Amino acid sequence: MMNLIKKLGSVGFTVAISLALILLLIVSTSMEAINGTPFAQKMFYQTRWFEVLLSFLWINIFCSTILRFPFKKGHIGFLITHVGILGLLTGALIASSHGVDGEMTIFEGETSATIRQSGYVLGVGFPNQEETTFDLKKGIFQFVLTKARMNATVPFCPLEQKKSSPSGRLPPLVGEMVSFNVTDILENATERMIVTPASLQAPINHAVQVKINSKQMGENSSVWLVEQDANNPSSHEMMAGSIKLVLKAQPKSSVPQKPELKVFDKSGKEIAVIHVSEGTLPQSIPIAETGSLIKDLEYYPFATVSGKNKLMNYPEGKRFNPAVVFNLVDSSGVATRKVKFAFFPEFESMHPQGAPKADDILIKFDAGNPGDFQDTFDGPQISFFYTQDDTFGYQSRLHGKVVLEGNVEAGKCLPAGWMDVEFCVEKTLTRASVSYDIAETKDDHGLLAAAVTIPSVSGGNIHWVFDNRSTPVSLKKDQVYFFLTQKTLSIPFSLTLKEFRKIDYPGTQDAASFESDVVLTDAKRKISLERTISMNHPLEYDGYKVFQSSYLSDPKAGKGSVFTVAKNPGIPWIYIGSIFACIGALFQFYWTKEKTALS
C-alpha cells in the first residue's frame, strides 16, 4: 500500500499530470478561440475524462502530503497550502458533477420550472403523445412498447378511460422490448434529396425538378418538389430565395363555388338552399313550412375579425374567407344572431350567442374546398399542378394575383412574368422515390443529426434524425417518431414573470438597463416570493442564483425575459480552499524568511 502511495505522490507523477494539463489547456484554449466556448466545454471541460484528470491531480497532491507524515513544524506552511489546493480541486469536482447551469425563457404571464441546458438528448415519441428520452451518444438503447403507448385514441372524458380499447383492436408489438442503435452522430450535417423514378407497381407520387434563374435576385438553384415524402411533410413546397415554389393537384375550379346557405330539418333532410353573393341580399327569407325566418343577411367574402372583435370585410388581405351574419327568427318571434364561416364551421360552437330552438332546424354555410383556391402567400410564387392524365401545369403569382399560367414540358424554360426570373422544368415524375444523402459540412449551415437503426423491425435501415424535425419510423402497423431536443432540467421552484421593463439610451433602441418582476413559488415548502431581477442583481434562493441575462420581444407572445439559472454546490469548498492556499503561501514565505534570518 505504501509503495502505491509513494508512486501516486511522486514528483514524476506530478510532472506527468502537470504536462497533461498544460497540453490540454493549450489545445482547449486554441479550439475555444476557433469554435467558441460551447464547443470547448462540450469537448474538454465538461467531459468525464477531464474530471478523471483532475481527480488524479487531487490524489497526487493528497499522497504527496501524506508522505510528509509525521509532520514537523517546518511543514505547517506546506500542509496548509496543500489542504487549500485540495479544497479548490474538491470544489471544482463537485461543481462539475453536481452543478446546475441553464437558461429559462418566460413571457409575461407565463410560469416555468424548467431550464434548458447545453447538449442534446434523443427522444422517442409514441402515438399516445408520450415521450421518452436518452442521452445522445453512440450505442444500443431500448424502449418498451405498451398498450397505452401505442393507442393513439386519447379519451376526452375521464370516464371513458375505463374502456379497455377505444380503437377496438390491440396494437402490435405490445409489451415487447425494442432495441435501437445510434450508429453515427454528426455535429454539422446537411442532407441532399435524391429523387428517382419508382417502379410501375409503386403508388403515384408526383414530383417535379425546377431550376430558377435570376441575375437581379442572384438566384441560380435547382430543387425537387415532391408530392409526398414520409421524412419531410413539406416536400411539396420550398423557398428559392424569396420565391415560393409549390407542387399540388390541379384545382377543380380556379374560382370558388358560389356560396350557399343550406337548411336542414331535424331528420337531416335538406329543406332550403339560399344562394349568397356580393351585392343586395334579401332582408327576410322564410324557411319553408317551419315558420322561421332568416333576416338581415350579410355576406363577407374576405372576412376577418378586427381587434375590437368585430367582423369586417378585408379584400386587401387577398384571403378568401367567406362568412355570413344573419338573424334567425323562430316561429315564436325569438331572434338569435348567427355568424357562420364556411371554412371554420366550429367557430359558432366556440362563440355561442344564445340557443333558441329555431324550430329544430340546422343551417350550414358551404363555399367549397378552401385548399383549392385559398393561398395567403403575398410574395412571388410559382405553383405547379399535376392532373389525373399525368400532365403538369403552372401558375405564376405576384402579390396574390395571377401573372402567367399554362402547361409545362420537361426541358423547357419559361418566364415567371416578373423581373428577370426564369424557371426551367428539368424533370417530371408520376411515381417518384425519395432518398437522402447525409454528409457533414464545413460551413455553419448544417444541423445536428443522429443515425438510428432498428434491426428487429426496420431491417437495419438507417433513419436520420435532425434537431429541427421528427422522423417517423414504422413498427409494423403503427409508428413511433424519433427527435432531437435540447437537454432540460426541472428545478425545485417555479418562476412567473409578472412584468418586464426596459430603459433605452435616449434617442436609441439600445437597452441601458432591463429588469423583471417575478413570483417565485416553491410548492413543496409552500413558499411564494415576489422579487425584482435586474442586471447584476440576481435572485438567490436555496443555493440557486437567477440572473437577468437577456430579453425577448415577440409581436404575438409579447415581452419576455431570458434568465440564467445556476447552482454551484462547490463554491464553499472553493472559497475555503482559496483562503487556506493564501494563508499557507504567506505562512510558508514567513517561515522560510525566519529560517533564513536565524541561519
Phi and psi angles of residue 30, each rounded to the nearest 5 degrees, phi first: -65, -45
Enumerate long-range contacts of 349-356, CB under 8 Å, 24 or more apart. Answer: 356/328, 356/330
Cell numbers found for residue 529: 416570493
DSSP-assigned states of every residue in 368-389: --GGGT-----S-EEEEEE-TT
Q: How many Å apart are CA 56 and CA 36, to the nearest integer?
A: 28
Residue 365 near residue 324, CB atoms below 8 Å:
yes
- Beta-bridged to residue 312, according to DSSP, are 304
pLDDT along the chain (599 residues), means of 10: 83 89 89 80 81 89 85 79 89 87 92 91 88 92 83 45 40 68 90 89 92 89 89 83 88 62 82 81 81 87 72 70 87 85 66 50 77 62 86 86 86 89 92 87 81 77 84 79 91 94 82 91 93 92 93 83 92 90 81 57
CA distance 220 to 570: 56
For residues 251 and 229, is the Cβ–Cβ distance under 8 A? no
pTM of the predicted model as reported, rounded to 2 decimal places: 0.56
Cβ 305 vs Cβ 311: under 8 Å: yes
In the 8-state DSSP scheme, what is residue 43?
Answer: I
CB neighbour list of residue 445: distance below 8 Å, 6 or more residues apart: 190
> Grid coordinates representing 385?
399542378
Cβ atoms of 369 and 248 within 8 Å: the answer is no
**pLDDT computed for residue 11 by the predictor:** 86
**Cα–Cα distance measured from residue 209 to residue 223, given in angstroms and rounded to the nearest whole number:** 6
* Pairing, β 100-107 against β 471-475: unpaired
Residue length of the chain? 599
